[in-house]
Chain A
Amino acid sequence: MLDSTAIKIEGICKAYKDTLALQDINLSIRQGEIFGLIGPDGAGKTSLFRILTTLTLADKGRASVNGRDVVEDMADIRRTIGYMPGHFALYQDLSVEENLNFYATVFGTTVEANYATIKDIYCQIEKFKDRRARDLSGGMKQKLALCCALVHKPEVLFLDEPTTGVDAVSRREFWAMLARIKESGVTIMVSTPYMDEARLCDRIGLILGGRIIDKGTPEEIISRYPDRLYAVRDENMFRILAALRPVEGVLRCSSFGCECHLALAEGGPSGEEILSVLSAAGIEGCSIEKIRPGIEDCFIRLS
């Protein structure tokens, strides 16, 4: 395909009763890239996926997948996309093999014909092929769902929160699989609430409250971070947050696991000055270090 845009989203709006789920979404996703839609629960990720997979209609705006309009060319789109919904949507009472055969047949193909496409993933669950889907572990269910979404060699793959509720090892494996699928030329649009998965995508869009608040490669988004960022460590996070939030020149102060990320304005206090503020408040023995912002820092700045 000459046009390098795989998915084009122009001014999509969607409301459910009084809630605005999506507000004027504009995105363009390139052929063969992994595009990550990153945002917390309720940000509108699933709504956008459902519009792109022709399952719901947008109230306003247009969208196309590989040049096919999501409203007019519904049938064509349904034939050429793979979709993995956010919840496990395979038949629990059918076995692994039966599920896979069913989806292959429904998409007009056979498992044998496309075995090469799914081989990498399927070989990991093949030894459980007679097991009912309901008896699989979370990670295996996810692999089976991915196989079912891939079995008809889709041009574009939509994965709605595929790693939610999956353990860290399986998550890593899953992203490795996505990288291999991408190599075969499939465009992948994936959503996730985990910010650490953002750097595994070629490009990302940050979504919050139904709006895209930033988009670009993870590096671009990070490089746009304007403030100086420090990590402060202490056993008692709460007293640090309480002591630093009122200080002038402190833009944001938020806890990140066992440390606290402190964004300081240009011309604001330096790291040493922060330490002296803390000791003046009677907080001793904490460390401070200048750090590179991550996607989560960007997200917090924009939200």
Chain B
Amino acid sequence: MKEVLAFIRKEFKHIFRDKRTILIVLVMPVVQIVLFGFAISTEVHNAVVDVVGDMTDPSVRRIVNSIDANEYLEIGEILPSGAMVESRIRKGKAKAAVCFEKDFDRHLKADGRASVEIIGDGADPNSAQIVTSYIKGVISSEQLSISSSSTRGGVSMRPNVQLMYNPAMNSSYNFVPGVMGLILMLICSMMTSVSIVKEKELGTLELVLVSPVKPFWIILSKLTPYLALSIINLASVLLLSRFVMDVPMNGSLALLLLVSIIFIGSSLGLGLLVSVISSTQQTAMMLCGMGLTMPTMMLSGLIFPCESMPAALQLFSDIIPAKWFIIMVKKIMIQGVGVSAIVKELSILTGMMVFLLWISIKNFKTRL
């Protein structure tokens, strides 16, 4: 036991004496979660919307006012004609424009229908989509209230779309669980594999293997410090996402921690596996970077929804532990479900952890 403690102590010294390791292990997660959750968001704030129309028209003014009142939208300029819309959008001065037809109010009151055109910036389809749907939402709610107050009545129903759990389409709800998965995997897999392969490469493992300490304990003492650091990271990421990113914590914290520990375990197993098959730090880095991080980013549902992938990629995404972890984190944190709703994902991830740890410990060479 004293031997294992000496190993763990030594491992911590390696980590704390290397500035780069410290940077990767303790600073990078915070930066990443803030970047992904905050700066790199797909939501649109204060999008400038130009208006083409007669501002003396009461209905037009009413709609324009409520667009301006919307916290995501902001009225830019009132343009006299539609010809100027294009140049404003092309120069990036406006994100979208709303064009009201002539005699908008009269048409609306007389015929119950008036035409309004929304022009978005298709060069940036993501934000165009979001901005135009915001505007559409504002207009349809205005239209509804106008028609209910009008004497004519009987205006056709407008679809009222509401996104459950994330009514404001808050992208941090999607990114925080994903980045959590990415960070934990990066630290557990990459740092563990690099630290073991480093000993292989520098030849220090040769001397350690000659010692009477059993390889199992060598592995365990290699994993322990990274497990501890991962738990610290998990805590800081959770605190950041709860109190800075305002991601709700609707479910049980204990369940979330359990799920995270299982995910950390499977990532440590992956890291160990990488260290078994690679003989240089460079190979280990490449394997972790290209073989683990990229698929995790692309295929775990962090960026692209798994459901819209081709069948072959969907099948491939099933073997990525992060996918199951991200699904569970979303379910627990945002939907607030209990253990019964995540039995399938939990058992898949546990199975992966057991398999990965077993196969890598079994293949860890006790000789050179």
CB < 8 Å A-B pair total: 67
Smallest CB–CB gap between A241 and chain B, Å?
40
Which residue of chain A lies nearest to B18 when distances are taken between CB atoms in the complex?
A93
* CA A106 to CA B204, docked complex, whole Å: 13
Asked whether B367 lies within 8 Å of A106 as measured between CB atoms, the reply is no
Asked whether B207 lies within 8 Å of A98 as measured between CB atoms, the reply is no
Known: A105-B2, A106-B3. A93 touches B14 (CB 8 A): yes
Contacting residues, chain A, for B210 (C-beta < 8 A): 53-55, 78, 81, 83
Asked whether A106 lies within 8 Å of B202 as measured between CB atoms, the reply is no
The stretch of A24-32, A84-92, A216-224, A228-236 in contact with B is A84-92
B235-251 CB mask vs A (1 if < 8 Å, else 0) is 00000000000000000
Asked whether B367 lies within 8 Å of A55 as measured between CB atoms, the reply is yes
User: Does A267 touch B at the CB level, under 8 Å?
Assistant: no
* CA A105 to CA B10, docked complex, whole Å: 11
User: Does B158 touch A at the CB level, under 8 Å?
Assistant: no
Q: In chain A, residues 44-97, which have Cβ atoms closer than 8 Å to a Cβ of chain B? A: 50, 53-57, 74-75, 78-79, 81, 83, 85, 87-94
Smallest CB–CB gap between B192 and chain A, Å?
17
Smallest CB–CB gap between B294 and chain A, Å?
31
User: Does B91 touch A at the CB level, under 8 Å?
Assistant: no
B interface vs A, CB < 8 Å? 2-3, 6-7, 10, 13-14, 17-18, 202-204, 206-213, 366-368
What would 27 A/B residue contacts be, using CB atoms closer than 8 Å? A53-B210, A54-B367, A55-B206, A55-B367, A57-B367, A75-B212, A78-B210, A79-B212, A83-B207, A85-B203, A87-B203, A88-B203, A91-B14, A94-B13, A98-B10, A98-B13, A102-B6, A103-B207, A103-B211, A105-B2, A105-B3, A106-B3, A106-B7, A106-B208, A107-B211, A107-B212, A148-B207
Known: A56-B368, A89-B204, A93-B13. A106 touches B213 (CB 8 A): yes
Known: A75-B212, A78-B211, A93-B14. A85 touches B206 (CB 8 A): yes
Known: A90-B204, A106-B208. A56 touches B367 (CB 8 A): yes
User: Does A108 touch B at the CB level, under 8 Å?
Assistant: yes
Asked whether A89 lies within 8 Å of B203 as measured between CB atoms, the reply is yes
Contacting residues, chain B, for A74 (C-beta < 8 A): 366
Which residue of chain B lies nearest to A101 when distances are taken between CB atoms in the complex?
B6
Known: A54-B367, A56-B367, A79-B212. A102 touches B204 (CB 8 A): no
* CA A75 to CA B7, docked complex, whole Å: 19
Known: A55-B367, A55-B368, A106-B3. A94 touches B211 (CB 8 A): no
Q: Which of A55, A78, A94 has a CB less than 8 Å from the CB of B10?
A: A94
* CA A56 to CA B206, docked complex, whole Å: 10
Smallest CB–CB gap between B194 and chain A, Å?
14
Known: A54-B210, A55-B368, A75-B212. A102 touches B10 (CB 8 A): yes
Smallest CB–CB gap between A82 and chain B, Å?
9
* CA A173 to CA B211, docked complex, whole Å: 27
Contacting residues, chain A, for B203 (C-beta < 8 A): 85, 87-89
Smallest CB–CB gap between B104 and chain A, Å?
74
* CA A53 to CA B203, docked complex, whole Å: 14
* CA A102 to CA B367, docked complex, whole Å: 21
Which residue of chain B lies nearest to A95 when distances are taken between CB atoms in the complex?
B13
* CA A83 to CA B208, docked complex, whole Å: 10
* CA A297 to CA B51, docked complex, whole Å: 100
Contacting residues, chain A, for B366 (C-beta < 8 A): 74
The residue among B13, B212, B366 with the most chain A CB atoms within 10 A of its own CB is: B212
* CA A94 to CA B9, docked complex, whole Å: 11
In the A-B complex, list the 8 residue pairs whose CB atoms are closest, starting with the nearest.
Answer: A105-B6, A79-B212, A89-B207, A89-B203, A106-B211, A55-B368, A83-B210, A93-B17
